[in-house]
Amino acid sequence: MGRVCLTFDNGPDPTVTPHVLDVLERHRASALFFVLGHKLDEPHGLDLARRITDAGHRLGNHSYSHEIPLGVDERPDHVALEIERTEERLARVWDGPKWFRPFGGGGKLGPHLLSEASAEYLKTHGYTCVLWNSVPGDWLDATGWVARALEDIERQEHTLVVLHDYLPEPMERLDDFLSEVVARGHRFTDALPPSCLPIVDGQPQASLRDCIAGDTE
Ligand SMILES: [Zn+2]
């Protein structure tokens, strides 16, 4: 019997996010939504983010453009453009703890995730950096992701699942997935697995060196 923490990335989306919120409510499950800054700038983006928090879920920063992993982003101002710009928008709808999830590029872990400058920013501003230990690939396989997520949950005591609330088709299976998690005796939790957190409330953890590009001394 395992614990399952749910996260939804790359929203909010006017069609998919409300559906995900309805399904979560039906299962009395809560989640952490890692939103994109540029989606908050779309019409109703901030309203959707407010609906997420009104429903009792948490909001995190998943960068502004979501195009280049921070560890390989060579723009000198990438921290301001990606993290700060999103933080400014999030601050209008969220005053809880600061969570950041780097863009992995297909869910990959490694030194491409953060630059030295972005890691410094997250530490200085008291962020918790949230990685993952289950990326079932909902965006690649609209039905097969459910079985892969369940496999991850069966083999781990505490699973942090990355799903996405911007494609309608895969999220049509969310209800079945959540039902199956409960039917197999697992339970949902807000707690994040410590092994997925290279920075906690601004404090660097041992795993941080594995996600920073370049020399870390
Ligand atoms: Zn993403």
Protein residues placing their CB within 5 Å of the ion ligand 1: 9-10
Distance 3 CA to ligand 1 centre (A): 23
User: Average pLDDT in the 182-197 region?
Assistant: 97
Distance 176 CA to ligand 1 centre (A): 23
CA proximity to 148, closest of 127, 158, 162: 162
**Average confidence score pLDDT of the chain:** 96
The domains found in the chain, sorted by start residue, are: 3-210 (3.20.20.370)
pLDDT category at 190 given cuts 50, 70, 90 is: very high
Q: Is the separation of the CB atoms in 177 and 144 below 8 Å?
A: no
Distance 51 CA to ligand 1 centre (A): 20
Distance 177 CA to ligand 1 centre (A): 20
Distance 107 CA to ligand 1 centre (A): 8
% of the chain surpassing 70 pLDDT: 99
Distance 65 CA to ligand 1 centre (A): 10
CA dihedral 130, 133, 138, 141 (to 10 degrees): 150
Give yes or no for residue 159 having a pLDDT over 60.
Answer: yes
pLDDT for 217 equals: 44
User: Average pLDDT in the 68-91 region?
Assistant: 96
Distance 98 CA to ligand 1 centre (A): 17
pLDDT category at 216 given cuts 50, 70, 90 is: very low
| Inter-helix orientation angle 145-155/174-183, to 10° | 30
Give yes or no for residue 215 having a pLDDT over 70.
Answer: no
Distance 17 CA to ligand 1 centre (A): 15
Distance 47 CA to ligand 1 centre (A): 20
Give yes or no for residue 214 having a pLDDT over 80.
Answer: no
Q: Is the separation of the CB atoms in 163 and 9 below 8 Å?
A: yes
Give 1-41 pLDDT, tens digit per residue: 899 999 999 999 999 999 999 999 999 999 999 999 999 99
Q: Is the pTM of this model over 0.75?
A: yes
pLDDT for 205 equals: 97
Give 95-150 pLDDT, tens digit per residue: 999 999 999 988 999 999 999 999 999 999 999 999 999 999 999 999 999 999 99
Distance 70 CA to ligand 1 centre (A): 12
Distance 72 CA to ligand 1 centre (A): 16
Distance 8 CA to ligand 1 centre (A): 9
